[in-house]
Amino acid sequence: MAFTSITAETTRLARWPEWVRHLALASCIACVMFAIHAFSGFPQLTDARGDNDSLTRLVQVRDLLAGQAWFDLHQYRMGAGDGLLMHWSRLVDAPIAAIMLVSNAFGAGPELAETIARIVWPMLLFGLGLFAIIRIARMLGGEWAVFPAATLGAAALYFVNLFRPGSLDHHNLQIVLVLAVIALLADPARRIGYYAIAGIATALMLAIGLESLPYVAVAGAAVAVGFLFAGLPLSRQAAAFGLAFAGGTLAAFVATVGVSRWGTAYCDTLSVVHLAIASIAGFGLTAVALVPAANASFSRRMVALAALGAGLAATVVVAFPQCLADPYAAVDPELRALWIDRVSEVRSVIVLAAGDWPKLLVYYVTPLMALGFVTVRLAGPGRTARELTYAAFLAAACLVSVWQLRGSMFAIPLATVGLAAFIGRWRESLDRDYSLSSSIAMLAVWLLSFNIVWGFAGHAVGLHFKDDAGSARKASCYPDAGYGRLAALPKGTVLAVSDLGSPILFNTHHRVLAGPYHRNVDGNMLAMRAFTGSADAAEAIIRANGVDYVVFCAGNPENGVFAEHGPGGLMDGLVSSRAPDWLRPDAATSAGPIDIYRVVGREP
């Protein structure tokens, strides 16, 4: 009876649409991952471990719910003067705030509502991201690729550390959108509706953050090239994508950019720059796809699309040449050398190879394996448009990773698709013709497809995670409990290194000068000058900017950078436990890893 019941349930499940089965599988794995996090006590909810963006994001949401205007993106408690105009999008704040409002409606207090949002949002994105990975792998590698995709995909999303409870950084949403666009464009049915949804998702990628700009370009190029070679059978799909992309970008612009900033050209966030480019690209592609004079033949399509590309390039060069410059060009060279150039996620492959090559194993091997497998597949017979589409996105992610390490946060999840498809075909062939040696080889490839295996390899040679004591000291700077003493003090302005700016904002009611954001040039410059200059110069800066407290955490790596750059300066003194006489240790808050000094004569 039990066997009959199980068989009946299995048969009934097999009748479900394929996408429903895949969604159910991804949801089940997301629930398992949730249980694992719950069993460990959701540690990132009380210790963000340096995830500054997630902390600042929640501060932005708090301000929004407290009455700050929708179009006002200032963080008034960070930076010099009137605060910092953030370059983030309200499109990420909105769903987080919605979860909190719904939780409040069901009786949850503010603190519990925040906790629910910090758990639900990243876990929801985890499930959706895994669903997209499974769908793409199924298209590329058949049904045999589903299980490898679910396994490798879940491990990859966990590894990149952007989908754990507490992760509110916008990069997780961007990764999900990239995966969704690939899944929609790679669908063999080539439904017009799918192309329209892909256009909207591409517009959202652009609106949320410009880290995804390479993938926006790849999405548009994939549709344009597909239309170039397919011709009229793909014209309506290309038109739907172009119209949805241009219209979606316009809608996002109107919904998130205040009227007072419509005419201001910002290069690091959605502005008139990107609206102009998206409009020309999207509406231009729609016109080329639908006008017979432009789409009637391969040569006409090529000429029309080339003219469209030239028009786009000319628009950027003539109207917005400043956006072709280094994205950190506005940052003072001295500050850049002491701060941005030392941030691990912006380091290039060349820098990593010279100073921390084990990270190359951890972050680059699996994407290169996947790129190698898909390249071999494309070089052989039977290649398909969906494989070309996936390969283009993966190649873009790998190229971005060569420029900056943070590109691997996209490359690693994308790599699981190619690896799963490769393993899936291998599994299928073994099912037809079993071989022990082939099974062992496949198992080896499977194991090597997990990034954690390469992490263990780097650790095993004693080169990766080598400074355990230093890591422990740095970790002590971030737990929320360490800031309770600071939060108990009267409201004031705090001077601390930029890496502590977000935890202070999140855990206290104070404002901070420094913060880990490239737009906060003035605040970070003041902090750098204060920490590296003489005691007299530091005092002058501190008093001129109304600083009430100086916060110091011995484990933060920025301390050594400032102390070395300014020997005999304020930071050098704090590191050596020689604070100037105009700083008084707060006796009531002397315990713990964070040292708090009051500025003598400044009583908030």
Query: If you average pLDDT over residues 79-100, what whole number do you get?
Result: 95
Sign of CA dihedral 67, 73, 77, 80: negative
Higher pLDDT, 327 or 161: 161
Q: What is the mean pLDDT of residues 182-188?
A: 94
287-313 mean pLDDT = 95
| DSSP H stretches of helix in 320-357 | 333-338, 349-355
Q: Is the pLDDT of residue 205 over 90?
A: yes
Mean local confidence (pLDDT), 530-543: 94
User: Are 202 and 216 within 8 A, CB to CB?
Assistant: yes
Dihedral of CA 228/232/236/239: which sign? positive
| pLDDT computed for residue 1 by the predictor | 44
Does 67 score more than 60 pLDDT?
Answer: yes
Alpha-carbon span 511 to 153, nearest angstrom: 40
Mean predicted confidence (pLDDT) in 291-298: 93
- Per residue in 382-394, pLDDT (tens digit) is 788 899 999 999 9
Confidence bin at 603 (pLDDT 50/70/90): low
Confidence at 5, pLDDT banded by 50, 70, 90 = very low
CATH class belonging to 476-599: alpha beta
Question: Does residue 163 or residue 433 have the better pLDDT?
Answer: 163
Nearest-CA neighbor of 300 among 311, 289, 309? 289
Confidence of residue 329 (pLDDT cuts 50, 70, 90): confident
Average pLDDT value over all residues in the chain: 91
Complete DSSP assignment for 24-74: HHHHHHHHHHHHHHHHTT-GGGTB-TT-HHHHHHHHHHHHHHTT--TT--E
pLDDT band at 295; cut points 50, 70, 90: very high
Query: Is pLDDT above 50 for 9?
Result: no
Look at residue 52 in the predicted model and tell me its pLDDT: 94
Strands (DSSP E) along 343-440, which ranges?
Answer: none
The string of pLDDT tens digits covering residues 491-526 is 999 999 999 999 999 999 999 999 999 999 999 999
User: Using one digit for the tens of pLDDT, what is the confidence trace for 109-154?
Assistant: 999 999 999 999 999 999 999 999 999 999 999 999 999 999 999 9
Q: What is the mean pLDDT of residues 50-61?
A: 95
Model confidence pLDDT, tens digit, residues 447-471: 999 988 888 877 666 554 454 444 5
Domain parsing of the chain, residue ranges: 120-458, 476-599
30-43: pLDDT as tens digits:
999 999 999 999 99
Element (H, E) at 552: strand 549-553
Per-residue pLDDT at 375 exceeds 80? yes
Question: CA-based Rg of the chain, rounded to a whole angstrom?
Answer: 26
pLDDT classification of 14: cutoffs 50, 70, 90 = low
Check whether 160 has a pLDDT greater than 70.
Answer: yes
Tell me which range, 242-246, 265-269, 331-335, 467-471, is most confidently predicted by mean pLDDT: 242-246
| pLDDT at residue 241, rounded to an integer | 98
Mean pLDDT of 343-354: 84
Give the predicted TM-score (pTM) of the model: 0.94
User: Is the confidence at residue 3, as pLDDT, over 70?
Assistant: no
Can you give the pLDDT at residue 391? 97
Per-residue pLDDT, 464: 45
Higher pLDDT, 10 or 541: 541
For the stretch 539-593, pLDDT in tens is 999 999 999 999 999 888 999 999 999 999 999 999 998 999 999 998 655 557 8
The pLDDT of residue 474:
58
The reported pLDDT for the residue numbered 238 is 97
